[in-house]
Amino acid sequence: MMLLLAIQLAVGPAQHYQNARQDFAQRKFSEAEGEVDFALHESPYMVPALILKARLATLARRPDVAKSCLITAVTADPASEEAQFYLGAFFYTQNDFKPALAPLETARKLAPGNALPVFYLAMTQEALGHQSEALEFYREAANLAPGPSPPGAEISVAYGRLLLSLGRTDEGIEKERQAAAIDPQSRDAHYELAIGLSHNEVLQDAAREGELALTLPVTADVSDAQIHYLLAGLYRKLNRPDLAKAHLEKFLAAKNATQK
């Protein structure tokens, strides 16, 4: 045991951090936590290590640790775009929206070409009920993440969802089509597209999108119950009582299972 400790201490904090990054990428979270703790023991204000520890703490549902690490990181290096972004994103995910604005805006200024801080600013402004500001940030984020970029589909889904909620149906449908084209496996995109098409009474196409959404992986935003409920209404309008009844029964079963 003493030999193992001596070997660990002989390795510098930078190497411990690199080891932690590799473990994190391989989803070896326990090993990553051990390595990042060694790095921070030797270098308490190493900003990348503090951010990684915060991410590990978030996965472990320890928001107090994550918040402490991110505040320390921002204090140690206010010019770290990554630290500012993760602090803002942390506040957003905790539904603490007002404190999220300042670090996200700072991250946006520090890295003007990065779509993620702008995307989170859009979602934060939307959560605060500031729809005009949210639309501007969604537009900016979409322009920063064109085509098949990794966040492009998520941005288009959220942008389209807000447009649909504001009654700007055609624009919302266009954004959801873009999202589905970028990521054909996006359940959220196909579900929101189905909603938009139903608003325009394009019922057969809406039902097709809803059925497709059901075949795709469940997400935090769109459950099976939500899709079954939508499809039950669509098939009722399409005069398909058999399918309407089947989806309504599945909706009730899924809802009851969730409540239990």
Which of 56, 77, 98 is the last residue in one of the domains? 77
∠ CA(119), CA(180), CA(233), 5° rounding? Answer: 105
Alpha carbons 107 and 104: distance in angstroms, whole number: 5
Q: Sign of the CA dihedral 57, 110, 129, 195?
A: negative
Residue 45 placed within a domain = yes
Write out the residue range of the structural domain in which residue 16 sits: 11-77
Which residue pairs, CB below 8 angstroms and at least 24 apart, start in 118-124?
118/144, 119/145, 119/151, 119/154, 119/155, 119/158, 120/85, 120/88, 120/89, 120/92, 121/88, 122/155, 122/158, 122/159, 123/92, 123/158, 124/88, 124/92, 124/97, 124/100
Residue 162 placed within a domain = no
Question: Domain check: are 91 and 50 in the same one?
Answer: no
Q: How do residues 145-189 score in pLDDT, each as one tens digit?
A: 876 766 899 999 999 999 999 999 999 999 999 999 999 999 999
Q: How do residues 59-97 score in pLDDT, each as one tens digit?
A: 999 999 999 999 999 999 999 999 999 999 999 999 999
Question: Domain check: are 48 and 38 in the same one?
Answer: yes
Give the pTM: 0.88
Q: Is the pLDDT of residue 195 over 50?
A: yes
Which of 43, 77, 111 is the last residue in one of the domains? 77
Residue 227 placed within a domain = no
pLDDT at 257: 65
pLDDT at 43: 94
Q: How do residues 203-230 score in pLDDT, each as one tens digit?
A: 999 999 999 999 999 999 999 999 999 9
Q: Kindly report the average pLDDT of the chain as a whole number.
A: 93
- Report the number of distinct structural domains present in the chain: 2
The CATH number of residue 90's host domain is: 1.25.40.10
Which of 93, 121, 144 is the last residue in one of the domains? 144
Residue 132 placed within a domain = yes
When computed from its CA atoms, the radius of gyration of the chain, rounded to whole angstroms, is 22
Residue 24 placed within a domain = yes
Question: Domain check: are 66 and 83 in the same one?
Answer: no
Residue 177 placed within a domain = no
| Local confidence band at 3 (pLDDT 50, 70, 90 cut-offs) | very low
